[in-house]
Amino acid sequence: MSYKPIAVVGAGFSGAVVAQQLADAGHNVHVFESRSHIGGNCHTERDSDTGIMAHVYGPHIFHTNNEEVWRYVNRYCSMEAYVNRVKACVKGNIYSLPINLHTLNQFFSRTFNPKEAQEFLLGIRDRAITNPQNFEEQALSMVGSELYEAFFKGYTQKQWGRDPRTLPASILKRLPLRFNYDDNYFSHRYQGIPREGYTVLVGRILDHKNITTFLGQMYEKSLAQDYQHVFYSGPLDKYFDSSLGALAYRTLRFEKHTEVGDFQGCAVMNYCDSNFPFTRISEHKYFAPWEQHEKTIYFKEFSSEAGGEDIPFYPIGLAQENELLDRYQRLASAEEHITFLGRLGTYRYLDMDVTIAEALACAKSFLLKNRI
């Protein structure tokens, strides 16, 4: 049995959870984080001017059906009840999202009850599409062309920089369609936001006598000999120096504004029309309704293709990426002492709860084979 420490690359949820599980089992763990802070893209920090807790890389609302994951995060922080209620601005009107009975009645100026709305939708959706092959077909078969054009077409083109006919149907399957007035964006049993922000939560997960975290420090492959095993949650292609080509990501840019009082009256407003260059505006004091602030900060969110130096946000799972991913995965499985995990390490559009569940499973499987 080797007693070398274990290296964990990345201090987001994946890295922190794996590190904590291994540290608890008695391993010494070194966490390498190239940025100057922990928490990955969930990082939160108080705005120095207003005192508002800012979601630095965009809104993060925790939601899950996974009891184990919910218990896990609650061990480290107080999760405040929070329900994500998103609004949409479409052609000068404000609607409720996800598309629900209120949206349908507002949009078509009707007073449908649930059954009438369902029958109406049956009449307008494209029933010829029985097996949607792309985002547009998925939308047309779900809600028909008018709703598709209003809520999804422009927003999706801005968000992904691609014609929705070239995007996978799975992107839209994330969103519910409801025939009642439930405007909760998520359908999961548990939903909340950590009272003190995500960075404090991740900091507590990492706060263990067997864990040393190195901030602003890249992991170099030449260090591998010092470690028993490496858990790598950075970008999969970057680990292999992009030798087969770069996996495509969308990156986000946030334009910050500060005002006194209130800007939009809700946390998130989507701008679905294509004449607005941004996709949405988020007003961050609404993510902490338990706090009071006189000023407000809000961020316009712009999406673009990630270049080499940009922070990757969304993996783009198109056919050509999947082929490239396949080739990188073959390289990855040939590596003996390294496990790739998380959104960047496995190149998947993962929610926080799935990231944590997978990190727990990853650590468990390693520990079964490597008992101290």
Q: Which residues bind ligand UDP (CB under 6 A)?
A: 88, 97, 151-152, 155-156, 159, 171-172, 174-175, 270, 272
Choice between 76 and 151, CB closer to ligand UDP: 151
Choice between 175 and 244, CB closer to ligand UDP: 175
Kindly name the residue from 301, 328, 347, 358 that is annotated as catalytic.
301
Choice between 77 and 171, CB closer to ligand UDP: 171
Kindly name the residue from 57, 80, 85, 349 that is annotated as catalytic.
349
Q: Outline where the chain has alpha helix (H).
A: 13-24, 67-76, 101-108, 114-124, 135-147, 154-160, 198-206, 236-239, 319-334, 342-346, 352-369
Kindly name the residue from 33, 95, 125, 178 that is annotated as catalytic.
178
Tokens 């334009």 belong to which residue?
255
Are the C-beta atoms of 127 and 141 separated by less than 8 Å?
A: yes
Q: What's the closest the beta carbon of residue 317 comes to ligand UDP, in angstroms?
A: 12
Chain centroid to CA 2: how far?
Answer: 36
Residues 6+ apart with CB under 8 A from 128: none
Q: What's the closest the beta carbon of residue 79 comes to ligand UDP, in angstroms?
A: 19
Q: What's the closest the beta carbon of residue 277 comes to ligand UDP, in angstroms?
A: 15
Choice between 161 and 265, CB closer to ligand UDP: 161
Calculate the alpha carbon distances from 210 to 122, 250, 368 in Å. 58, 36, 19
- For the question of residue 301 being annotated catalytic, the response is yes
Q: What's the closest the beta carbon of residue 174 comes to ligand UDP, in angstroms?
A: 4
Kindly name the residue from 183, 250, 328, 343 that is annotated as catalytic.
250
Are the C-beta atoms of 99 and 146 separated by less than 8 Å?
A: no
349/332 Cα distance (integer angstroms): 19
Peptide bond into 98 cis (omega under 30): yes
Kindly name the residue from 125, 227, 239, 280 that is annotated as catalytic.
280
- For the question of residue 349 being annotated catalytic, the response is yes
Choice between 69 and 171, CB closer to ligand UDP: 171
Instruction: Take residue 113 and report the two structure tokens written for it.
Output: 């009850």
Q: What's the closest the beta carbon of residue 135 comes to ligand UDP, in angstroms?
A: 7
- For the question of residue 250 being annotated catalytic, the response is yes
List, by residue number, the catalytic residues. Answer: 174, 178, 250, 280, 301, 349, 351
